[in-house]
Structure 1
Amino acid sequence: MTKQQQRQLTLGVFLTRHGHHPGAWRQPESIGSGRPDFAHWAHMVQTAERGKLDTAFFADFVGQSGASTKGIERRFAFLEFEPLTLAAALAAVTSKIGLVATVNTNFDQPYALARRFASLDHLSGGRIGWNIVSSLADGAARSFGADPSFSHADRYERASEFVDLTRQLWDSWEDDAFENADRESGVYLDPDDVHPVHHKGRYYELDSVLDIARPIQGHPVFVQAGNSDVGRDFAAKYAEMIYAAAQFIEDAQAFYADVKGRMARFGRDPDHLKVMPGLSFAIGRTRDEAQDKFDALEAAVDFRGELNLMGQDMSGYPLDGPLPDLPEPANGKGRWKQLTALARRENLTIRQLFLRFNAVRGHRVVIGTPADIADQIEDWFVKRAVDGFNLIPPVLPTSLDEFVDLVVPELQRRGLFRTEYEGSTLREHLRLPRPANRNRAAAPAPSPVLEPAS
């Protein structure tokens, strides 16, 4: 990487079976079946790779309690492959795109997870990212037999210890520890290249050496999505990519400046964190055609049965009445504040709020021609509201095909987005430094100076 390098737009895609809009599965172009189908996932990720996207992201809405089946006959459900298993299979049918898998720190152990992620990083050629989640929804806690009493702050504290411990485990070996075996002398490795981990903390106690070589990337790219104050601090300390939600540029700019401004306290360079809000879209040859596509999705939303608004059951309130005063939920505090602020600012009914916020989980929606979509992406990027976007295609696979075939070429013509992958690892795609083994006192390489896009 050169010292002077133009800032480059980052693009990822959040993939689900049908698409993200609640009306997606009812569209004729959507795959109607919810049955697991790896060929469908492979096609979508290969499409994203054809578009030179940085990442394909897989969430994990894990844990369905028995009570959660109420109204399930009409509910669009995120019932998908386990993310790490899916990422392993997709690594074999792709060669460049990064694969970001969600794993919740409440339902795993540092050693087991460090081993799986290191394995995947080697198997994929250095293309794995970890979306670090510490939420504790009631259904998930019941499914795993976890203690649901941990406070929001306690969960982040435990997640912090979890991440620190996995990093120590990935640093168990020097990078070249297994590359100097000498058959003649019988020396397989240098004992100075191994660094046992002795850890006794508040939540975890461990004495071990990870039984696989250090990951190709040093450690997987860390991704996080917290929007609360504690979540922002966690991102400033650990995250290299953060998924955010903003519908207005002023809110996005404030979030961008706030999170990056916190990084100095942790000795980090702000350019080493990519801020990527979600972006939903409807693309047409004309603006009217794009609006018609979006209207068809809105019309397909079924409001019968249980109505869940960011974890709150709204079934007992008038659908066309205002949002009542409700207590802040234990999970998704930042998103809930965004939702209530939007409802009060624009005097939205529950129905309007569901369509405006919950259907796309608070993310921005852009509607128009490919040039219109590119204009809005460029505007937010140049004005330092984002480093890029995590695309949220409303209907899959068609919305992703349209973005790759129509919007990506427009961004490339403007010099905002790559025309070819320049490296092979996810860190190289994102222009992130490879972390040195912290058992070795090597000074970090100087950070590149990034010029604003013209």
Structure 2
Amino acid sequence: MTSSADAGPAPGRSRRRMALGAILHGSGGHIAGWRHPSSPPDGQLDLDHHIRLAQTLERGTFDALFVADVVAIWGHQYDSLRRTARADHFEPLTLLAALSTVTERIGLVATATTTYNEPFHIARKFASLDHLSAGRAGWNVVTSVVPLEAGNFGRDTHLEHSTRYLRAEEFVEVVRRLWDSFDDGAVTRDTASGHYYDPAGLRTPHHGGPHFTVRGPLNISRPPQGHPVIFQAGSSEVGRAFAARHGEVLFTVQTSLAGAQAFYADVKARAAAYGRDGDHVLVWPVLSPFVASTQAQARARLAELQELVHDDVARRLVQDNIGDLDLSGYPLDGPLPHIGATNRSKSRQELMLDLAHRENLTIRQLALRFATGGAVVGTPETVADHIEEWFTARAADGFNINFPYLPGAAEDFVDHVVPELRRRGLFRHTYETATLRGHLGLPRPRVGASTGRRRTAAGDRGAAGQREGSGEGSR
């Protein structure tokens, strides 16, 4: 293997630099990762384990680590749930606040749903994380795909797919306006004058809409990045439109280079149609690496993990992700039955159905393929070849690495694949900036820029449009 000390790209290599993020599952992203011999079975709630993982990724100069979340256990069928680690995981922002104290440069991204939260909560929490981490926070905006979440928030049923996105549109607008509650530099903390902040720099949103009424302002100064970076993973028609309007980093699962290129071109064109710079909308396909010294050893690592998937788990993995149906009466080694419409993730259903029909997969084969979504199996050079091909072919601006088991898969990638990417001139040797926006080459939002067309200065300024604390002001 080539040493990471080799500086500079080879002749003819592109100077464009890719981004790398990592999904931080306690014991790994594979459904059976917790059973792997090198994964700690209690890794889901082991803080020291998470600290080591974060520091390993930072050693590899990853742009960001990402903690996924649902606000429920991942299923209610205990025959399968009891065979997974999905009933036991940290609340993401609490974990990332802890990791902010033991890392220095890596971005810290958490999922938070717009369906089962309120805008003020989310704006305040992510602003706090951005301050704690000195500008490294990111928010993965989701509308929730697990119907069981509804029962934890006083609802009998999950909101319809289109309604969830309408709520999300308004939610993101309100959060951005709350992040802009104070102008940059408005919190002066001037002990001589006795003024903690300049009232002329206070903005009170006074938002009133179909889903939310939020007076504001936010009770924390503007985040160091202006706004934490917005991540999004919508791939359905309505999801892509939402991502093109709001997303700055877009997660996606793609099973072919052609499909990835089509998604990449589509969301960039949609973003441009909304007046956005396509270079400020980054596409990160999921990649699950199985890395070893030889191709045969890498394939053996994949097979070893797949053997740990119990039949009950395989059936449930398909059932929970492809739609609202019961597969208990169908043989695992038989074909999929007819699948109807779903109120879960429509893009995920379409992806799985396309894969099953294109490759004529059985239920078991589909489950195993889904368990290793984005799998790339081989030597460090083979994995780097795949990454380089997708990157240079404009199928990706970076990758969201889903390590199948931890910590071993992350260590293999950092120690062997990252040096190869550096040798090819595709990835940084050291961090050159301090913030997540800086790593990604994203601009810092101006105060009021994201929603300026929808409001007036008089309706938004604490001092110009109203007396501070009076409760008055236009909407």
Same-fold call, TM cutoff 0.5: yes
Matches within 5 A, 1:261-280: 261-280=269-288
Amino acid at match of 1:176: G
CA offset at residue 23 of structure 1? 2.9
- Superposed CA RMSD in Å reads 2.0
CA offset at residue 233 of structure 1? 0.5
- 1:234 maps to 242
- 2:366 maps to 353
Q: Is the 8 A contact 2:139 2:229 kept in 1?
A: yes
- 1:452 maps to none
CA offset at residue 35 of structure 1? 5.9
- 1:281 maps to 289
Alpha-carbon separation, structure 1, partners of 2:27 and 2:74: 23
Amino acid at match of 2:129: L
1:400-428 CA-to-partner distances (Å, cap 9, x unmatched) read 00000000000001100000001000000
Amino acid at match of 1:354: A
Match status 1:47 vs 2:56: yes
Match status 1:409 vs 2:419: yes
- 1:301 maps to 309
- 2:185 maps to 176
- 2:227 maps to 219
- 1:448 maps to none
Q: Is the 8 A contact 2:177 2:451 kept in 1?
A: no
| Structure 1 counterpart SS, 2:285 | strand
Match status 1:429 vs 2:439: yes
Amino acid at match of 1:217: Q
CA offset at residue 342 of structure 1? 1.2
- 1:445 maps to none
- 1:245 maps to 253
Q: Is the 8 A contact 2:135 2:224 kept in 1?
A: yes
Match status 1:317 vs 2:330: yes
- 1:107 maps to 116
1:331-354 CA-to-partner distances (Å, cap 9, x unmatched) read 111111111111111111111111
Alpha-carbon separation, structure 2, partners of 1:31 and 1:149: 34
Alpha-carbon separation, structure 2, partners of 1:170 and 1:120: 12
CA offset at residue 113 of structure 1? 1.5
Matches within 5 A, 1:378-417: 378-417=388-427
- 1:154 maps to 163
Alpha-carbon separation, structure 1, partners of 2:450 and 2:52: 42
Alpha-carbon separation, structure 2, partners of 1:382 and 1:35: 36
Alpha-carbon separation, structure 2, partners of 1:441 and 1:270: 19
- 1:331 maps to 344
| Structure 2 counterpart SS, 1:74 | coil
2:210 equivalent among 191, 202, 215: 202
Q: Is the 8 A contact 1:106 1:136 kept in 2?
A: no
Q: Is the 8 A contact 1:373 1:407 kept in 2?
A: yes
Alpha-carbon separation, structure 2, partners of 1:25 and 1:35: 9
| Structure 2 counterpart SS, 1:296 | helix
Alpha-carbon separation, structure 2, partners of 1:187 and 1:346: 67
CA offset at residue 42 of structure 1? 0.6
1:199-221 CA-to-partner distances (Å, cap 9, x unmatched) read 11000012121111000001110
Q: Is the 8 A contact 2:150 2:158 kept in 1?
A: no
| Structure 2 counterpart SS, 1:197 | coil
| Structure 2 counterpart SS, 1:307 | helix
Amino acid at match of 1:73: R
Amino acid at match of 2:287: L
CA offset at residue 182 of structure 1? 6.0
| Structure 1 counterpart SS, 2:45 | coil
Distance 1:297 1:70, change over 3 A: closer
| Structure 2 counterpart SS, 1:71 | helix
| Structure 1 counterpart SS, 2:187 | coil
Match status 1:191 vs 2:199: yes
1:7-62 CA-to-partner distances (Å, cap 9, x unmatched) read 21110000111112223222211112366210011111110000000010000032
Match status 1:134 vs 2:134: no
Q: Is the 8 A contact 2:109 2:138 kept in 1?
A: yes
CA offset at residue 268 of structure 1? 0.6
Amino acid at match of 1:314: L
Q: Is the 8 A contact 1:107 1:146 kept in 2?
A: no
- 2:378 maps to 368
Q: Is the 8 A contact 1:136 1:148 kept in 2?
A: no
1:27 equivalent among 25, 36, 41: 36
Distance 1:186 1:353, change over 3 A: closer
Distance 1:186 1:16, change over 3 A: closer
1:70-113 CA-to-partner distances (Å, cap 9, x unmatched) read 43332342521000111100000101000000101112111122
Alpha-carbon separation, structure 2, partners of 1:225 and 1:71: 26
Q: Is the 8 A contact 1:236 1:260 kept in 2?
A: yes
CA offset at residue 115 of structure 1? 1.1
Q: Is the 8 A contact 1:171 1:439 kept in 2?
A: no
Bigger mean CA deviation after superposition, 144-153 or 254-263? 144-153
Bigger mean CA deviation after superposition, 302-311 or 120-129? 302-311
Alpha-carbon separation, structure 2, partners of 1:440 and 1:393: 35
Amino acid at match of 2:111: T
- 1:342 maps to 355
Amino acid at match of 2:269: G
| Structure 1 counterpart SS, 2:206 | strand
Alpha-carbon separation, structure 1, partners of 2:449 and 2:271: 23
Alpha-carbon separation, structure 1, partners of 2:145 and 2:37: 36
Distance 1:181 1:118, change over 3 A: same
Amino acid at match of 1:325: H
Amino acid at match of 2:403: P
CA offset at residue 6 of structure 1? 4.0
Match status 1:15 vs 2:24: yes
CA offset at residue 137 of structure 1? 2.3
Number of residues paired by the alignment? 434
